Amino acid sequence: MTHKALLKLLVSEGIDFVLIGGVALRMYNSGRVTHDIDLAIRTLDVDAVIGLMYGKGYTMVTGADEDAVTSAESEDDASFWVEETKSGAISFIERPKGKEGPTVPMEGIDISSQVDFLFELAIPVMRLKQNARIIEMGDFSFPVASVEDLITLKQHRAERDDADDYDIRFLKSLQ
């Protein structure tokens, strides 16, 4: 599913979200290259998102090493994992055709299919949405986090790296 199709689906399903991360930076003309998409959602919508993604042939990643990812085999397993781990984020990949079981080899994964939903952030999603820039995309629109909120989110990342520092400098240049 393309990023546009995913965003349109979330809008049509009434799931509140705000585009964040590398794709959001691209909306501000950053030269950043990214393949996945990051979306802030409400904690209340986690189960709905899990059901929606499994219904579209995606599986939730529960672990990874250099050779493969481990995934939750069902919606119930995914919901249980979220509850048990108290995770503030969930990642999905499109399940390769014909692959059954919880292990998906790395070579079988289309990295551009990765979707990260974050719901425990430094800024609540509804405040992100209130401050967001609205992007019109033909027959639908969606919110992109404001420059200021993207800076705050980057500054509060637990595993901040050089790319985050570059992103912060870029975003500050827009202020």
> In the chain, what are the helix, strand and coil shares in percent, each to the nearest 5?
45, 25, 35
Percent of the chain scoring above 90 in pLDDT: 79
Q: What is the CATH number of the domain that holds 39?
A: 3.30.460
Mean pLDDT value across residues 52-72: 94
pLDDT in tens, 149-159: 999 999 998 88
57: left (phi over 0), alpha (psi -120 to 50) or beta: left
Under 8 Å between Cβ of 25 and 32: yes
pLDDT band at 97 (very low <50, low <70, confident <90, very high): confident
pLDDT band at 167 (very low <50, low <70, confident <90, very high): very high
Residues of the domain holding 34 = 3-173
Task: Check residue 153 and give its pLDDT.
Answer: 96
Q: How far is CA 40 from CA 70, 83, 97, 169, in A?
A: 23, 18, 28, 22
Task: Check residue 103 and give its pLDDT.
Answer: 84
Mean pLDDT value across residues 34-43: 94
Task: Check residue 148 and give its pLDDT.
Answer: 98
Q: Which two tokens stand for residue 111?
A: 């990295």
> Does 160 score more than 80 pLDDT?
yes
Distance of CA 113 to the CA centre of its chain: 11
pLDDT in tens, 98-149: 777 788 888 888 888 999 999 999 999 999 999 999 999 989 999 999 999 9
Number of domains in the chain: 1
Contacts (Cβ under 8 Å, ≥6 apart) of 124: none
The pTM is what?
0.93
Under 8 Å between Cβ of 126 and 18: no
What's the per-residue H, E or C state across 42-96?
CHHHHHHHHHHHHHCCEEEEEEECCCEEEECCCHHHHHHHHHHHCCCEEEEEECC
